[in-house]
Chain A
Amino acid sequence: MTWVTFFQQLMNGVSLGSLYALLAIGYTLVYGILGLINFAHGDVFMLGAYFAFFMIAIFMLPWWLGVIVGIVLCAIVGMTIERVAYRPLRDAPRISALITAVGVSFFIENLGLVTVGARPKGFPRPDLMKNVYILAGARIHGVTLWVPIISLAILAVLLFIVYRTKMGMAMRAVAKDMEATRLMGVNVDRVILLTFALGSALAGAGGVMWACKYPQINPLMGVFPGWKAFTAAVVGGIGNVVGAMIGGFIIGVAEIMIAAFFPSLTGYRDAFVFGILIFFLLIKPSGIMGETLKEKV
């Protein structure tokens, strides 16, 4: 393998990894606060692509506006899921919430199959994403270049919110001790709602960029990215925001590299990623950045 192809593959991996990172944040934020694995998260990612698709293709909004509306709708869906499905179970045994999460996921997927059908739809891409750039001798697609750049910008904003704003401070406090946070005068229900909004907005943005990368969208497109992002969150240390980002990039690069270095194993790339998940769960369940796990799930 030449340096140029290596660089090309590395860019592919970083690009894919940045999307996993965006999606992994949602898992890790919700897990950190509620100790719940939000299985419906991958489906919100799918909704992001569809919402944007409908805004652009049916309502004829300009591309950027359609995408923003799609992301906002995702945030609203995320808040609705929390309010309707998870909040009533806040004090229930954790397994009830977990099963509910699986139920919400199936509900959204099947609602998608019934309403828009299983046939994939072509996602409109802006020219920016279609260009081809020559970088250090390597041919880099517009998506491959812009997706990680946009993702990193979004991740920077997220880090700012979590570590530099009052709301982020409340989020970190709730994650550690929900009751003590209540005693500080924080409306914890609102913080949780906003956490879902934030995570779902990132998932929506990820879904749109995924659709730019693989412009055939279908109601089940969120399933595998969702599982892999969950893996990324575990690898990084679930509950840890920076860990989720690192995990996302590790999984993305690993997945691309296994296909690049061992072309005959390409068919096993999904299995390889889940192998990493099992490896971490066995060897270091607290992940790279995680603290020792408490009794959760």
Chain B
Amino acid sequence: MDNLVLKVDALQAYYGGIHALKGISLEVPRGKIVALIGANGAGKSTTLRTISGLVKPRSGKIYFLEEDITTCLPHTIVEKGIAMVPEGRRIFPNLTVMENLILGCYTRKDRDGIKQDLEWVFKLFPRLKERTWQKGGTLSGGEQQMLAVARGLMSRPQLLMMDEPSLGLAPLLVREIFQIIEEINRQGTTILLIEQNAKAALEIAHFAYVMETGRIALQGEGRALLQNEKVQKVYLGED
């Protein structure tokens, strides 16, 4: 257990009047990329929203670094070390790129550390560095996604959760984003990733869960799931 960053135990939640999570259990080991794949409406987003405190669970427990965070408020959860890159990027279009990044480390007080991390994310995303004074809303879709990821990293999270980072991006950019996700992980950040692009996600994930209508249907190592017949048929669209 001491090597687990996140442990979700029999989580049940309602979202929009729907019994969206019917008992989800999953584990995210330190330093790994864990993917959560599944069709639309399977409950992937609700899982992340519940972990981040936006949705209150009906029952079940969420442990972060062995601490029960089930009833914590969203801002406390960020403070404890979980950051989320929400679906649809959700950057602040009326704030500059720099302000978006500073907001990402709202809970931090260590000025030197923040300065270092700014340099770190600018190294990861050189294009953002050229645009620090531009309004977030003027960036292209790909740049906005990079800003969303960079903003998530600015809190120096122990766990970075990403909701559909490849959504709406051109194929070339999708590859770039996934490369960056692997790079971030190599540099030590644990990642929990939701994707509809199952193939790309399974290729980089150390471990993956397949969700179906609020339940975990399958689980296994990323590469192994890629070979799984059912996964291939349902999620990878191969016959």
Contacts and interface: CB of A to CB of B under 8 A. Distances in A.
Contact of A185 (B79, B92, B93): B79
B212 to A, nearest CB: 26
Interface in A237-269: none
A228 interface: no
Given A177-B90, A179-B54, A184 B78 contact: yes
Contacts of B79: 185
Interface stretch (B60-68, B99-107, B177-185, B196-204): B99-107
B94 A188 contact: no
A4 interface: no
Nearest to A182: B74
Contact of B106 (A172, A175, A185): A185
Given A180-B86, A184-B78, A185-B78, A166 B106 contact: yes
A57 interface: no
A226 B86 CA distance: 39
A253 to B, nearest CB: 29
B103 A170 contact: yes
B143 to A, nearest CB: 17
Contact of A180 (B75, B90, B94): B90
A186 B95 CA distance: 15
A184 B104 contact: yes
A183 B84 contact: yes
A186 B75 contact: yes
Contact of B99 (A169, A177, A182, A186): A169
| Chain A interface helix/strand/loop/mixed | helix
Interface in B99-117: 99, 102-104, 106-107
A138 interface: no
Given A169-B95, A179-B54, A186 B103 contact: yes
A176 interface: yes
A220 B129 CA distance: 54
Contacts of A169: 95, 99, 102-103
Given A184-B151, A185-B107, A185-B155, A166 B92 contact: no
B62 to A, nearest CB: 16
B94 A184 contact: no
Interface in A147-165: none
Say which size band chain A's interface belongs to: 10 to 19
Given A173-B95, A176-B92, A183 B74 contact: yes
B52 interface: yes
Contacts of B90: 177, 179-180, 183
Given A185-B75, A185-B78, A186-B75, A166 B95 contact: no
Contacts of B83: 183
A5 interface: no
B188 to A, nearest CB: 20
Contacts of B84: 183
Contacts of A176: 92-95
Contacts of B74: 182-183, 185
A208 to B, nearest CB: 32
Contacts of B107: 185
Interface string B162-204: 0000000000000000000000000000000000000000000
B92 A183 contact: no
Contacts of A182: 53-54, 74-75
A184 B52 contact: no
B75 to A, nearest CB: 5
A173 B75 contact: no
Nearest to B85: A183
A187 interface: yes
B78 A183 contact: yes
B84 to A, nearest CB: 5
Contact of A183 (B52, B99, B102): B52
Nearest to A187: B75
B54 A184 contact: no
Contact of B94 (A170, A172, A187): A172
A139 B210 CA distance: 80
Interface in B44-74: 52-54, 73-74
B86 A184 contact: no
Nearest to A180: B90
Contacts of A179: 54, 86, 90
Nearest to A186: B106
A180 B106 contact: no
Contacts of B102: 166, 169
B54 A172 contact: no
A185 B94 CA distance: 19
12 contacts: A169-B102, A169-B103, A173-B95, A175-B94, A179-B90, A181-B92, A183-B74, A183-B78, A183-B84, A183-B86, A184-B103, A186-B103
Given A173-B92, A179-B86, 13 more contacts: A166-B102, A169-B103, A170-B106, A175-B94, A176-B95, A179-B54, A179-B90, A182-B54, A182-B75, A184-B78, A185-B74, A185-B75, A187-B75
